[in-house]
Amino acid sequence: MMTSSYASSLPTCRRIPDGALYVGGRSGRGAVEDNDRTARFVYRNLSSITEITCTLDTHYPYQIFFPSFWLTDEGTPPIAHREVTTQDVRSGRLRPNPALAAWLADEDYGWLERHARFYCEQLERAGKYTLYLWPPHCMLGSEGHALAGVIHEARMFHAFARLARDWIEPKGGHALSEHYSALSPEVLFGPDEKRIAERNNRFAERLLEADALIIAGQAASHCVKSTVEDLLTEIVATDPSLARKVYILEDCMSAVTVPDADAPGGFLFDFTPQAEEALARFAAAGMHVVRSEVPMSNWPDFPV
């Protein structure tokens, strides 16, 4: 039996409650407890898991989903944790920082403005997300870019115990597109059909080669959701029956929530419904939504 386990990365900024983008879920303990369950799952199933791949959000100071990319109509950067709509860009309430045109658009600020408007239009047309401005997180070279220690330890223990080729897949470095999914950025072309990003077809092919594919990580509402959506698209195009070999550990992931400091217990944003809807959709497509404490031998359709 060959079972490959794909685990989304759980970097420091997402597992520490005072991190820049901690994924706490509604309980506030989300990523901390998810990491513990994921590591325990790896140790319990060491003999069955043959390969682990962790993805790493890898970001830079100026990207389209960071406030530093934008200026308000008052000439100052907007605050994080807000959405950017096409109307915001068309009206001039938000515009790309002109200083970025020198290295993002070959000095062509007009193109950068057109791209910002086109990008928001494409997102809204796709219906998956509205552009959301996140606080700086997972910055390359920072402590927050690293895997959570408990996940890294479990991954390395597995690699040495199983003589496995466990590795890392970086993602998220495109300045002009979000990159929630480990398989593809959200938008691949600019307003003039100029390609700005590429799909990771090689990684998608590797995942589909496994006899069983186990998915865990953060966040259930964004990176995990988008990765599985892209994987499902590949499966439907190749062979819909392949969905049966995908297992999603629902207790090893949490949704993004943004607590409201002015209303204790409340949230400015709560993406839990989006995560729950996605899991239901994946299950309807034939994928298996399972829990980490249930023996793998008891999972439906699991290869033995």
Averaged pLDDT for residues 199-219: 94
What distances in angstroms separate CA 173 from CA 39, 71, 84, 230, one per listed residue?
27, 21, 20, 18
Cβ neighbours of residue 121 closer than 8 Å, sequence gap 6 or more: 86
pLDDT of residue 16: 66
- Helices 223-238 & 201-209 angle (0-180, nearest 10): 70
Q: DSSP character for 180? A: -
pTM of the model: 0.92
Q: In this predicted model, what pLDDT tens digit does every residue of 49-102 receive, in sequence order?
A: 999 999 999 999 999 999 999 999 999 999 999 999 999 999 999 999 999 999
pLDDT of residue 20: 82
| Three-state DSSP class for residue 245 | helix
SS3 content of the chain, % helix, strand, coil (to 5): 40, 20, 40
- Asked if residue 8 has pLDDT above 80, the reply is no
Q: In this predicted model, what pLDDT tens digit does every residue of 119-142 receive, in sequence order?
A: 999 999 998 889 999 999 999 999
82/98 Cα distance (integer angstroms)? 21
Q: Which amino acid is at 61?
A: P
Q: In this predicted model, what pLDDT tens digit does every residue of 242-254 receive, in sequence order?
A: 999 999 999 999 9
Mean pLDDT of the chain: 92
pLDDT of residue 210: 92
Task: Spell out the domains of the chain, with CATH numbers in brackets.
Answer: 3-60+136-298 (3.40.50.850), 67-133 (no CATH)
What distances in angstroms separate CA 77 from CA 34, 66, 74, 82, 161, one per listed residue?
34, 10, 9, 12, 49
Q: In this predicted model, what pLDDT tens digit does every residue of 264-299 receive, in sequence order?
A: 889 999 999 999 999 999 999 999 999 999 999 999
Neighbours of 218 (CB within 10 A): 30
What distances in angstroms separate CA 102 from CA 57, 69, 70, 107, 111, one per listed residue?
25, 13, 15, 4, 11
